[in-house]
């Protein structure tokens, strides 16, 4: 059975009125076209690269407290992103002992908005010597929030920590890291770190003048909470009992404030250290240095580390 076609007008005047009639869909399309043309014109006649690069330098210097330099900047609009290339962090940006750090690039991708803190949310990919550190960054009016929830290779991560803190401690393996922190006025406001290592190896390192060989530690566990520029280290376990090395530590770390250059970084840690027979034989000097802090079992030592983070003093 044939379908009956609806009757449509054939009068040219009626057709003209239908073609040019304003509907809500046509209005929305027209508005979007105007917005697109406005944005395109804005970026054609305004140099966003130079203006943004100057603004980002000023923002970083104000929020971090040191003059970070950026060689070049690129924009992408699909998805919205900012690429910073060849970033130089001069000595002392994050700590008095921090060495100059050169980053290959930092890529920031806009992913949405946050209500706490109120501001845009960016996915940040930091490229340090071809090691990619993925971070979620939220920028508020007076605060910045960072979070990392990734499994990361330990060797490049420990190299980055060494450059920031000056502490030569090379670890290989993997680290399942959950870190969240909030900074206000260039100071640590809140922080939570939970980390678990896998197949951890201490590579040849020099720790407080003592040269250690490669040691298969196997395990690494960290739990720390921070508030008001102070970090409470609730658990730091390195190695396993009845192996070459086992270290169990907890205590407090006080960070330096960029607003107070005279303030020093200090630690107050309780340390339980147990060395296996192999290390005790190979490094008899360890027993000479820690002889006053011997524990109840062979190869065990108990002591405190207090004072300046760069040169702490041993005490009972």
pLDDT at 232: 94
- Who has greater pLDDT, 236 or 7? 236
- Per the structure block, which two tokens stand in for 229? 């520029």
Phi and psi for 167 in degrees, rounded to 5? -95, 115
- Who has greater pLDDT, 296 or 304? 304
Q: What is the pTM of this model?
A: 0.70
| Mean predicted lDDT score pLDDT of the chain | 76
Which of the residue ranges 80-84, 192-196, 199-203, 208-212 has the most confident prediction, judged by mean pLDDT?
192-196
pLDDT tens-place string over residues 117-160:
777 888 888 888 888 888 888 887 778 888 999 999 998 888 88
Q: Quick one: pLDDT band at residue 262, thresholds 50, 70, 90?
A: low
- Residue 179: count of CB within 10 angstroms of its CB: 17
Phi and psi for 141 in degrees, rounded to 5? -65, -45
Give 173-205 as a DSSP string: EEEEEEEEEEEETTEEEEEEEEEEEEEEEE-SE
Q: Which long-range contacts (CB under 8 A, 24 or more apart) does 268-272 make?
A: 268/304, 268/305, 268/306, 269/233, 269/304, 269/305, 269/306, 269/312, 270/302, 270/304, 271/247, 271/301, 271/302, 271/303, 271/304, 271/305, 272/247, 272/248, 272/300, 272/301, 272/302
Summary count for the chain: helices (H), strands (E)? 6, 17
pLDDT at 269: 92
Residue 279 has, within 13 A of its CA and on its CB side, a CA count of 22
pLDDT at 271: 92
Q: Which residues contact 99 (CB under 8 A, 6 or more apart)?
A: 91, 163, 166
Residue the block writes with tokens 């000479």: 288
pLDDT tens-place string over residues 77-121:
666 778 888 888 887 776 666 778 888 888 888 887 777 777 788
């Amino acid at each position: 059975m044939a379908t009956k076609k609806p009757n449509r007008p054939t009068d040219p005047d009626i057709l003209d009125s239908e073609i040019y009639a304003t509907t809500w869909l046509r209005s929305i399309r027209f508005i979007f076209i105007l917005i697109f043309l406005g944005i395109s014109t804005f970026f054609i006649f305004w140099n966003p690269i130079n203006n943004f690069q100057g603004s980002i330098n000023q923002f970083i210097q104000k929020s971090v407290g040191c003059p970070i330099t950026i060689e070049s900047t690129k924009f992408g609009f699909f998805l919205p992103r900012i690429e910073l290339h060849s970033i130089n962090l001069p000595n002392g940006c994050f700590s008095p002992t921090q060495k100059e750090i050169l980053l290959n690039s930092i890529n920031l991708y806009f992913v949405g908005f946050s209500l706490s803190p109120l501001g845009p949310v960016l996915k940040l990919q930091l490229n340090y010597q071809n090691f990619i550190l993925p971070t979620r960054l939220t920028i508020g009016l007076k605060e910045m929030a960072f979070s990392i929830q990734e499994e990361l290779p330990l060797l490049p991560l420990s190299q980055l920590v060494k450059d920031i803190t000056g502490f030569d401690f090379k670890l290989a393996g993997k680290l399942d890291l959950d870190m969240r922190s909030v900074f206000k006025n260039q100071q640590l406001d809140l922080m939570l770190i939970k980390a678990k290592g896998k197949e951890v190896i201490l590579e040849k390192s020099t720790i407080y003048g003592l040269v250690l060989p490669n040691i298969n530690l196997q395990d690494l566990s960290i739990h720390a909470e921070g508030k008001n520029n102070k970090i409470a280290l609730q658990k730091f376990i390195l190695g396993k009992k009845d192996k070459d090395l086992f270290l169990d530590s907890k205590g407090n770390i006080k960070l330096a404030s960029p607003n107070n250059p005279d303030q020093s970084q200090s630690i107050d840690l309780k340390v339980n250290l147990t060395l296996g027979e192999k290390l005790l034989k190979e490094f008899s000097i360890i027993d000479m240095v820690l002889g006053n802090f011997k524990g109840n079992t062979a190869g065990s030592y108990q002591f405190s580390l207090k004072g300046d983070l760069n040169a702490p003093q041993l005490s009972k």
